[in-house]
Amino acid sequence: MNEAAPLPKGNMGEPVARIDARLKVTGDARYPADLPVRDVAHAVLVTSPIARGRLTQLHTEAARAVPGVLDIIAAGDVDGELERPQFGNSGSTSIAPLHDRRIWHDGQIVALVVAETFEAASEAAALVRADFQAEEPSSGFGSPGIEIIPAAGASPLYPENPEAGDFDAAWATAEISIDETYSTPTQHHNPMELFSTTASWFDGDVTVNESSQNVTGWKNTLARQLKVDPEHVRVVSPYVGGAFGSRGPMTPRTAIIAHAARRLGRPVRCVVTRKQAYTTQTYRAETRHHIRMGAMKDGRIVAFRHEGWELTSRPDNYVVGGTGTTARMYGYGAVETKVSLVKADRNTPSYMRSPPETPYVYALENAMDEMAVALAMDPVEFRRVNDTMTEPIEGKPFSSRSLMECYDQAAEAFGWNRRTRGIGSMRDGDWLVGMGCATAVYPTNVAPCTARVRLTADGRIRVQSGSHEIGTGIRTVAAQMAAERLGAPFWSVEVEMGDSSLPPAPVSGGSTSTASVCSAVMKACDAIRARLFHAAVTANDGPLSGLAPADLGIADGRIVAGARVEAVANAMERMGVGEIEEYAEFAPEGSSADAIANLYKGKLEMRMGEEGAKVKYAFGAEFVEVRIHRLTRETRVSRLVGAFAAGRIMNPRTARSQLMGGMIWGVGCALHEATEMDRHSARYVNTDLQDYLVPVNADIQDVKVILVEEKDTDVNPAGVKGLGELGNVGTPAAVASAVYHATGKRIRDLPIRIEDLL
Amino acid sequence: MRPFGFERPETLERAAGIVAAREDRAAPPPLSSAQFIAGGTNMADYMKLGVMRPNLLVDIGRLADPGLRRIAASPDGIRLGALVRMSEAEENADIRIGYPVIAESLQQAASQQIRNMASLGGNILQRTRCEYFRDISWACNKRDPGSGCAAMDGFNRQHAVLGVSDRCIATYHGDFAQALIALDASVETQSPRGGRTMAFSELHRLPGETPHVETQLMADELITLIDIPAKPWARRSHYLKIRDRQSYAFAVASVAVVLDLEDGAVRDVRIALGGLATVPWRAQEAEDELKGGPLDERTAGRAAEAAFAGAMPREHNAFKISLGRQALVRALLETRDMRV
Ligand SMILES: Cc1cc2nc3c(=O)[nH]c(=O)nc-3n(C[C@H](O)[C@H](O)[C@H](O)COP(=O)(O)OP(=O)(O)OC[C@H]3O[C@@H](n4cnc5c(N)ncnc54)[C@H](O)[C@@H]3O)c2cc1C
Ligand code: SF4
């Protein structure tokens, strides 16, 4: 055991190394654009340099003259062949770049050039000239021409603004109040693996190789767009080089490439440049917040109001809607929330790791820190005073909530008691030292899922489920679940995922995968156990003959009841089978009758943490130490400590990695990440990894992750709370809190940069 | 990718001659249809982006002249061949001990991988990282003379506050050049017209009306050597680089200081600023302010005021003036406190 593989505590599995660890670190894992495809043609996108207007004319003569150019597809060329993309469910946007001539955003696709080589396609794409009738664009917040609409009801995902009690009356009684605004910038995913699509047709069937978090959803969406039966579409995504929502919804490019391949009668591959990914893929919407918080001198919050504004595109109402979580975080008393959408000439935003919580909880937790200062209370104690086992909106109990346990364990490991209160009171030479903390939270969602498990007489197990290895370790934990339920060693399990021809699994989003996939795998394994146990107890002469199946267990390849054992292989031999295969459908409590049928159709029914008789959330506490030079004011994070409780931890090693990666991402969110906009033209400016900064190794010093023991049998059969999106939620506010402690400057707009502290 | 020709000559004469034989030999080097390439970390990158569109690349990486790859230390100073890799120079013991400002400026530049490829000659001639320059869909006077400057009223947080013109505010982003300014270096060049030597501080040109003319060089002129005169007091020299993250980032502001202290008083000092100006920038006003007096936070602050007296900020980069001042104060104090 070492730090990377923490010893399991109660309700935790073994810290086994990932099934694909070796492949990943040796570079042997094959990502979709790495797959050799015979006779593949290469496609390059041509995109718009204006953000709003109309495409009037495309000049392609020079491009067509480039040797090796095979085809150029532009507006009008897909009519009748390709249905328009749709926004929602599995589609990122309704903007239909090759159906319409309207330009909705900067960098919109206007044509596709297909050639024998990538080089020829790139050269030709650079020679395509487009004429536009340009119009004055609105870039976003504060621009003339934006439209602001209420979010409630604008999207089925956000029916109403949560509220409780009489905010105005409670606000009037508050002894101490905070009334501030906060903001978070546009952020782009920038996964290491570039976005790509490879489409190959054979005999009327199309296979699309593209990194995806939702192969079943995409298969159905693609089929609709290509006007073919879903049976003829297969989406394959064995490994994903960075997902975090960027590969959740399908973008319009995928169907365009599949169409290009059909038109050309040849496989087509398109690898999108880093720069074009900024405008043809999705991103995290910029947000603004206005928070009012009223408290009594003893620290009790009596009134909380959170109003948010979020950027979206003209045609689509993407809602972030994080008030669902912030409204339920503490025992506030009266709560009022409101969310509005700001519609501008921008592409439609979409999911990015903890989509609602990252911006909204950042604003709330920064306000909590401000309130603690206003109350002259320790920020941890302030949270303790307002901790609650009953959420304030509907008065439902939490299924479990270990928030203060997390605070206490993290504070202890961090050495919070060494923090001196005064602003700038801690120094290390010319460096001001600041310490801060914040809460992390993520709802425990779960979704319908199917899986097939096969046990062969030689003890091997194969698990199949159309989920996605997006780097979380889902194949590994699914294997652990199967190994545990079937009493087999971990190495005997093989797991197949990332293919729409497998039994369908939900989108790998909302931190649902471990809970959903493990619940389905568990169900399939239990069906296998039932068959084995039945065979064991009904045998005439077997060692377990006559026992009740309920008294049997399985371990080390043997069916056991106390001292009586029978080898699984023996039982199977008696059954006359070489293998037992079971397919299971798992639908979470409260799912509709059509949940599984809908899953097959690519329509997701996710059960959210707020739904049901109890509220199901995972919590954590994060502590940060920063160093800020007294003269030049650059901020460096010297220490991070996070403690998290998330029900059953399937694998402490992969859990720790997820949480640590999240905390590091949170440092980027706090100090580095922002997509900058040229306001006049509504175009992005810093569209590469030189100017879009993320932390590098040298920015991350000491990171400690504590897994807090927690048991929750209400969340789902596997007892698992998703934690993939938990780790990054608290970090930005904890950094802001530490920066305040070091400098006395309260920074409310992310990222926190040198200029904010000079 | 645009097709282009590729030549790999073995002699300096041939390399310069290939370019001299071209019709547009009189064009300012960045606009010439033939381009030299050394490590290629800047040239190949900008060709991929379409910023550089040469018809012919002349690879100088195979030139036979051993002087181009040599680091030669002598009592008179140190001579660095133009093809010496950044990583070779930063690891050289004479440089680390005698001229720490050079080693520090190189160590904090780019990444180890890039420094293993990049040459010193290419480094000093690297072109700006202005975002609008690097994306050919924007108007840019430097890339496309006369087209305008999108950065002027755009997002210009990283742009220069010193040496700007109303045509261009692009920052010179290299680090090594500041060390060369502070050390009073000169460069030697070769062209079909012969060799010449110029002060390094004369090499780069302010943008003025012609931001596409970046140096005094001609298109067929090669840098061969960088010559750093001996200065015993260069042991007390330091490069401070302030950036948005700890590594692998260009300077938001940087300062090179070479300091001659005697009994706590400044006998001589040379200061260069990076990340703040359109060219490697010597802060002579600040030097004058300090000479002959004590060096403490107060006098350093006065020098810093003087250094930025002529600064001209735009919408998003005004902070660079206060940051530049603070960085200068910090660099001076850190250099003063060096143990040499
Ligand atoms: C991601 C990234 C980060 C970077 N970060 C930094 C940083 O933090 N600090 C920093 O200082 N630099 C940084 N750089 C720039 C890097 O240092 C330069 O790209 C490199 O030094 C250029 O050297 P080269 O030999 O590769 O030049 P090339 O790309 O080969 O050439 C650059 C230019 O110099 C010309 N040239 C080259 N040699 C000669 C010669 N002998 N005579 C005449 N002309 C010549 C070429 O024609 C070309 O115009 C970074 C670069 C990248 C890609
Ligand atoms: S600042 Fe200079 S390099 Fe940048 S866009 Fe303007 S002219 Fe071009």
Whether residues A528 and A472 share a domain: the answer is: yes
- The ligand whose atoms approach the alpha carbon of B16 most closely is 1
**Strand (E) or helix (H) holding A437:** strand A431-443
Contact B76, B23 (CB under 8 A): no
A414 pLDDT exceeds 80? yes
Q: What is the pLDDT of residues A217-267, one digit of tens each?
A: 999 999 999 999 999 999 999 999 999 999 999 999 999 999 999 999 999
Question: For B321-332, what is the mean pLDDT?
Answer: 98
- Please tell me the pTM assigned to this model: 0.97
Using an 8 Å Cβ cutoff, are B127 and B282 in contact?
no
Give a yes or no: residue A90 inside a domain: yes
Q: Under 8 Å CB-to-CB from A375, ≥6 apart: which residues?
A: A176, A295, A297, A299, A382
Token digits of residue B216: 């005094």
Average pLDDT, chain B: 97
Q: Let me know if residue A530 belongs to a domain.
A: yes
Instruction: Please state the rounded mean pLDDT for residues A671-687.
Output: 98
- pLDDT per residue as tens digits for the range B197-223: 999 999 999 999 999 999 999 999 999
pLDDT tens for A296-336 read 999 999 999 999 999 999 999 999 999 999 999 999 999 99
* pLDDT more than 90, % of chain A: 97
What region, left, alpha or beta, does residue A11 occupy, with left being phi > 0 and alpha being psi -120 to 50 degrees? Answer: left
Asked if pLDDT for residue A89 goes beyond 90, the answer is no
The pLDDT of residue B2 is: 87
In a domain, A151, yes or no: no
| Residue ID of nearest Cα to ligand 2 atom 8 | B140
In this complex, do A632 and B327 lie within 8 Å of one another by their Cβ atoms? Answer: yes
The CATH architecture one would assign to domain B69-124+175-229 is 2-Layer Sandwich (3.30)
Measured from the alpha carbon of residue B225, the closest ligand is 1
Size of interface A-B (CB pairs under 8 A): 85
Strand B237-242, strand B253-262: pairing: antiparallel
A224: domain range? 32-136+189-283
Please provide the average confidence, as pLDDT, over all residues in chain A: 96
DSSP SS3 for A519: helix
Residue of chain A whose Cα is closest to the Cα of B322:
A758
Q: What ipTM describes this predicted complex? A: 0.97
Domain CATH code at residue A666: 3.30.365.10
Q: Return the percentage of chain A with pLDDT > 70, whole number.
A: 100
Residue A84 has what DSSP assignment? P
B242 contacts on A by Cβ (under 8 Å): 632, 634, 754
- Residue A589: inside a domain: yes
Residue given tokens 């206007």 in the structure block: A110
Q: What is the pLDDT of residue A79?
A: 93
Q: Which residue type, as a one-letter code, is found at position A273? A: T
DSSP, collapsed to helix, strand or coil, labels residue A523 as: helix
| Domain spanning B5-60: CATH 3.30.43.10 | yes
pLDDT of residue A574: 87
pLDDT above 70 for A1: no
Helix axes A731-743, A652-671, angle to 10 degrees: 50
Give the start-to-end residue ranges of the domains of chain B. 5-60, 69-124+175-229, 233-336
Q: Residues B192, B220: contact at Cβ < 8 Å? A: yes
* Burial A221-239, CB ≥16 within 10 A → b, else e: bbbbbbebebebbbbbbbb
- Residue A432 to residue A281: CA distance in whole angstroms: 40
Backbone angles phi, psi at A572, to 5 degrees: -70, -35
Indicate the number of domains in chain A: 3
Q: Which of A452, A44, A509 is CA-nearest to residue A240?
A: A509
Hey, how many other C-beta atoms are within 10 angstroms of the C-beta on A280?
22
In angstroms, how far is CA A433 from the centroid of its own chain? Answer: 33
Answer whether residue A139 shows pLDDT above 60: yes
Domain boundary among A261, A283, A305: A283
Extended strands (E) in A345-430: 426-428
A309 in a domain, yes or no? no
Q: What is the CATH number of domain B233-336?
A: 3.30.390.50
A561 within a domain of the structure (yes/no): yes
Domain boundary residue, one of A230, A249, A283: A283
Q: Mark yes or no for CB contact A430/B247 under 8 Å.
A: no
- Find residue A290's DSSP bridge partners: A181, A307
DSSP three-state, residue B75: coil
pLDDT at A541 over 90: no
pLDDT at A483 over 90: yes
Which secondary-structure segment (H or E) carries B19?
Answer: helix B12-20
Strand partners, A398: A615
Q: Which residues contact A709 (CB under 8 A, 6 or more apart)?
A: A9, A10, A11, A12, A645
Question: N- to C-terminal Cα distance for chain A?
Answer: 45
User: Which residue in A405, A496, A725, A755 is the catalytic one?
Assistant: A725
Which residues of chain A have a CB within 8 Å of the CB of B322?
A: 758
When pLDDT is averaged across residues B161-169 and rounded to a whole number, the result is 98
Measured distance CA(A201)–CA(A143) in Å, rounded: 46
A725: annotated active-site residue = yes
A353 C-alpha to ligand 1 centroid (Å): 36
Q: Which of B245, B322, B325, B332 to mutate to test the interface with A (most CBs of A within 10 A)?
A: B245
Do both A407 and A450 map to the same domain? no
- Does residue B161 register a pLDDT over 60? yes
Residues A633 and A739 in one domain: yes
Q: Which secondary-structure segment (H or E) carries A182?
A: strand A176-184
Assess whether pLDDT exceeds 90 at residue A344: yes
φ, ψ of residue A358 to 5 degrees: the values are -55, -55
Q: Are residues A566 and A534 in the same domain?
A: yes
Give me the residues paired with residue A443 across strands: A617
Per-residue tokens: A467: 């989920």
Q: Which of A220, A250, A283 is the last residue of a domain?
A: A283
pLDDT of B1 higher than 80: no
Give contacts of A126 with chain B, Cβ < 8 Å.
Answer: 2, 50
Verify that A592 and A519 share a domain, yes or no.
Answer: yes
Confidence of residue A96 (pLDDT cuts 50, 70, 90): very high
Above 60 in pLDDT, residue B140? yes
Kind plus residue range of the DSSP H or E element containing B265: strand B265-274
Q: Which helix (H) or strand (E) holds A343?
A: strand A334-344
Q: How confident is the model at residue A616 (pLDDT cuts 50, 70, 90)?
A: very high
Pair A722, A647: CB distance under 8 Å: no
Q: Would you say residue A22 lies in a domain?
A: no
Q: Are A359 and A345 in contact (CB under 8 A)?
A: no
pLDDT score at A684: 98
Integer angstrom CA distances of residue A45 from A42, A108, A131, A229: 10, 9, 16, 27
Query: Among B3, B137, B248, whose Cβ lies nearest the Cβ of A696?
Result: B248
Nearest residue of A to residue B320, measured between CA atoms: A755
How many residues would you count in chain B? 340
Q: How confident is the model at residue B237 (pLDDT cuts 50, 70, 90)?
A: very high
* Residue A612 and residue A639 share a domain: yes
Q: Are residues A279 and A367 in the same domain?
A: no
Do A596 and A613 lie in one domain? The reply is no
pLDDT digits (tens, 9 = 90+) for A583-602: 999 999 999 999 999 999 99
